[in-house]
Amino acid sequence: MNSKQVVLITGSSTGFGRLFMETLARNGHTVFATMRDPGGRNAKNASEIRTLAEKDSLPISVLELDVTDDASVERAVDAAVAKAGRIDVAINNAGYYLTGLEEAVTTEQARRLMDTNFLGPVRVNRAVLPHMRRQRSGVLMHVSSGAGRVILPSAGLYCASKFALEALAEAYSYELASQGIESVIVQPGAYETPVFGNTVTAADQARTATYGAAKEIPAKLSAVLSSSAGNAQEVADVVLRIVETPAGEKQLRYSVGTRGFGVDEINALCKQVQANVMEAMGLAADTKFIKGKAAASV
């Protein structure tokens, strides 16, 4: 296997996605930096990325990809495969934070959040997997959150979207293991990116009238999260390490910057519980990673 990987990243216009793009490309990996609307809302970001790639001779291509649109996802994946011949790693990064007491979140806001944070990766994974199976290897990476393991009031729907993502990614890790394809989860704590500026606020504030002191929870939580945010390069360094870890040696979960919140403890307990469940269901052998096995299923 060529140690330099072809990586497709969703939500590369800003924040983690953009940092992952630059970190991976500076280390010789070919990157498809995807974003929605690179000719419109992200025109400035797309142009900055293209200029950077040209100036520093970095292997980066910008592609349009809106994770809420099946056709857009498929077009981007097809364009990447047409150009590079393969996709080794798909990084499901696009997502946003929604703050507010759960009752104040409208059903339309909840639907949109799930459409991006959860159904986005469902679409991307379905689009890239036939190519990974053909090339006999691949990695599905999922940017979850510490909030994909612990629950914070006023972030309940965001947590739900990341819990759902964790379940999807873990199920995929079992189902794809015998074909030599990996699924991994990254769980960042709070990091300095534009995420806080891009946060959506629950729209139906009239619903919070009876909540008394609990009305202050969203503001308190947002203040704690934004004031404790770390340097996002820490997460990009972990993503680089995962991409460069040989097939079959990756962990299912990587928590970054969540120490003190119990995420590692939950991960360790769940790992044991899940192994016992696989054993009890008679599925342990079926869910073991087998290197270079993708060909067997074609």
Ligand X SMILES: NC(=O)c1ccc[n+]([C@@H]2O[C@H](COP(=O)([O-])OP(=O)(O)OC[C@H]3O[C@@H](n4cnc5c(N)ncnc54)[C@H](OP(=O)(O)O)[C@@H]3O)[C@@H](O)[C@H]2O)c1
**Which residues are near ligand X by CB under 6 A?**
10-11, 13-17, 35-36, 41-42, 66-68, 93-97, 116, 143, 145, 188, 190-191, 193-195, 198, 229
CB closer to ligand X out of 37 and 170: 37
| 55 tagged catalytic | no
Kindly give the residue spans of alpha helices, DSSP state H, lying in the chain.
15-26, 43-55, 70-84, 107-117, 119-135, 156-177, 217-227, 233-243, 263-280
| 144 tagged catalytic | yes
| Cβ pair 38, 10 in contact under 8 A | no
CB closer to ligand X out of 67 and 132: 67
- Active-site position among 162, 173, 174, 191: 162
For the chain, the distance separating the N- and C-terminal CA atoms, rounded to the nearest angstrom, is: 19
- Active-site position among 144, 145, 183, 255: 144
| 13 tagged catalytic | yes
| 172 tagged catalytic | no
Measured torsion, CA atoms of residues 143, 145, 148, 151, in degrees rounded to the nearest 10 = -160
Least Cβ distance, residue 189 to ligand X (angstroms): 6
CB closer to ligand X out of 6 and 67: 67
CB closer to ligand X out of 16 and 289: 16
- Active-site position among 13, 145, 173, 255: 13
- Least Cα distance to 124 among 140, 111, 138 occurs for 140
- Active-site position among 97, 158, 172, 174: 158
- Least Cα distance to 58 among 116, 7, 11 occurs for 7
Active site residue ranges? 13, 144, 158, 162
